[in-house]
Structure 1
Amino acid sequence: MNKCIKLRNFVKNGNFEIGPYVFKNFSTGVLLLPKIHDIISPLPGWIVESLKPVKYVDSRHFNVPSGLSAIELVGGRETAIAQIIRTIPNKFYRLTFVIGDAKNGCHGSMMVEAFAARETLKVRHESRGKGDFKTGVLKFKAISNRTRLTFYSAFYHTKLHDYGHFCGPVLDDVKVWYY
């Protein structure tokens, strides 16, 4: 017997389209402060859960996987972004997301770690500064009626020709489906 499941993304603002205003000629992105400095997140649905800010980047000035904007994890392990979603205990879910580089001179071996329930996934991406992207898929079983999704960059990165400028992997298209 086949059950027809209505697909619905459980993540709010998973494509990061709703966020702070980016000025047309402002090409550096917008730093979003951690929760300890800014109680109300300028990125609806998300918590900047770290010591360092994350960068909100737009498609006019950076390469983003889809849509108009994405998040760049610029501070290594000290930069984390999270969201708490509603889940049904003992149901199985699939978390998908896209990582890559923003084609902004950031280079090297990148890795984003994703956490959901008791599961962890490390997705590696070798950045050559060409704006390439890769999709990560994490299957998890919900253990309560709320599940925290957390993402952070495992390494510190700088631009190829400017070692004083921090950068990192771009995160976009975060989706959670049950199956």
Structure 2
Amino acid sequence: MALAIHVVKLLFLVSLAYSNVAYGIVPLQNPSFESPPTNIRTNASSQFVLLNTLSNVIPGWSFQGTVWYVTGGNSVSLPGNGHGLQLGINGMISQTFRHDFISDDYVLTFTLAPSSLSCANSATAIRISGPSLSKVFTYKGSLGKETWQTYAYALWRNEVPTSSITLQIESVAASSRSNSACWPIIDDLLLTGINYPRIYTGNNGFLNGGFEVGPSFLENSSQGILLEAEPNVDPLSPVQSALQTWAVLGTVKYIDYGHYVTPKGLRAVELISGNPSGVEYYATFTQRGQITLDFIIGDAGDSCVGDFTVIVQVGTQRWNFAMRSNGLGSSKEYSLTFYASYSPTDVVPISFASYNETRTSDNVLCGPVINGLFAQHSYTGSRYGGSHSIRLHSGLVIFCFILAVTFLFFA
């Protein structure tokens, strides 16, 4: 019987460890393209070297169509003035990596750049594809001080796991390209494996309410990571964007403590695009009653000066919260309460969004930073969860079944 108790304790500790959101870097081969293609002159005077599928091999990558090997500098701005690949007409690169059968999802962080400053306002776009989904990313001006931008994308959506997964990146031709030389440059890829959360910790009804679990930051990136809205979001899926458990409205910037002011914790979300820019959580309420939402509004310390307004919406109910920003990293805590009269089967969107456009002194789009989102039922010990709580009960049943079998076996 003593052995059974020890085994149960071990299973309990394992379940707690498994229930937390875990993530780690998945190694890609030659992710920054610093290992040059074979059979090229590395000291060539031109920053662009056209590759040939018959004579050139990109270490770690397959390619087809028109692809150039690019060296940063002069008119081409890349992180650390390193190397990248320009994808021209029908240009495509791909790499297959092994599924570790531990990660529930893979989030890709990458850098997108135009081929010159004159191309910054042209339609520079790429398509990122995972096992079954894809998304087009278009370079947009005024989203950072540099002429390159960092994005993130969740590659996987609950597909049946296979032993290998293929990542594919290809150019997207504009319908009316003003400059035929303005093709996209891809650089600095970072792949992160993430596990879905299994249970709620503490009394917070929001999973990932502090935005601590999301895409990994590139070593050379000081501009944050741009996250864009995903089409056809499934409210019952644990993944709506690269920011775990949260859907994105418009475009937001995922920021870290090392380069910005975050009101609480190491990471936060800046609402930058307006019309709207925000995040949304899909909640189910396990019982009726009064709900309290606590959150923080601040500025990222990026000289974003102005009057901020964040609209919080729960279902059809809306509240406006205003803050005057001095651009130096100020923040303020806010709270609201409402009565939840929803049934347990209702999926209720809870969003935090900004509809105004603000710019820094460098003419970069900016806006309010939100962080420290906390939701709690007024009744002691009770809480509500997001769409993931629908799956929680089956996980608890399995865990209890394991405990019962263990007791019977060692009794």
Under TM normalisation by the shorter chain, which class is it? 0.7 to 0.9
Report the CA distance between 1:37 and its aligned residue: 8.6
Query: Aligned equivalents of 1:17 and 1:154: distance in 2?
Result: 24
Kept in 2: contact 1:118–1:140 (CA 8 A): no
Kept in 2: contact 1:54–1:75 (CA 8 A): yes
Kept in 1: contact 2:277–2:355 (CA 8 A): no
Pairing 1:46–2:241 present: no
Show the counterpart of 1:129: 327
CA-to-aligned-CA distance 1:127-154 (integer Å, 9 cap, x gap): 1111010112111111323432101113
Moved over 4 A (4+): 37-40
The structure with the largest helix share of the pair is: 2
* Paired residue secondary structure (1:77): coil
Bigger Rg, which one:
2
- 1:92-171 equivalent positions in 2, closer than 5 A: 92-144=290-342, 145=344, 146-159=347-360, 161-163=361-363, 165-171=364-370
* Paired residue secondary structure (2:226): strand
CA-to-aligned-CA distance 1:69-122 (integer Å, 9 cap, x gap): 000000123212100122135311001110110001111001111112443221
Q: Which has the higher contact order (CA 8 A, sep 6+)?
A: 1
Query: Aligned equivalents of 2:331 and 2:228: distance in 1?
Result: 25
Query: 2:270 pairs with 60, 72, 86, which one?
Result: 72
Show the counterpart of 2:227: 32
Q: Which runs of 5+ in 1 are unaligned?
A: 1-6
Return the TM-score normalized by structure 1: 0.87
Query: Aligned equivalents of 1:92 and 1:70: distance in 2?
Result: 27
Pairing 1:12–2:207 present: yes
CA-to-aligned-CA distance 1:22-44 (integer Å, 9 cap, x gap): 12331100001211299851111
Say if 1:20 and 1:156 are closer, same or farther in 2 by CA, change over 3 A. Answer: same
Q: How many residues align?
A: 169
Query: Aligned equivalents of 1:84 and 1:42: distance in 2?
Result: 15
Query: Aligned equivalents of 2:282 and 2:374: distance in 1?
Result: 13
Show the counterpart of 2:153: none
Q: Which runs of 5+ in 2 are unaligned?
A: 1-201, 234-238, 379-411
Kept in 2: contact 1:98–1:133 (CA 8 A): yes
- Range with bigger deviation, 72-81 or 96-105: 72-81
Identity %, equivalent residues: 30
Query: Aligned equivalents of 1:117 and 1:32: distance in 2?
Result: 23
- Range with bigger deviation, 124-133 or 111-120: 111-120
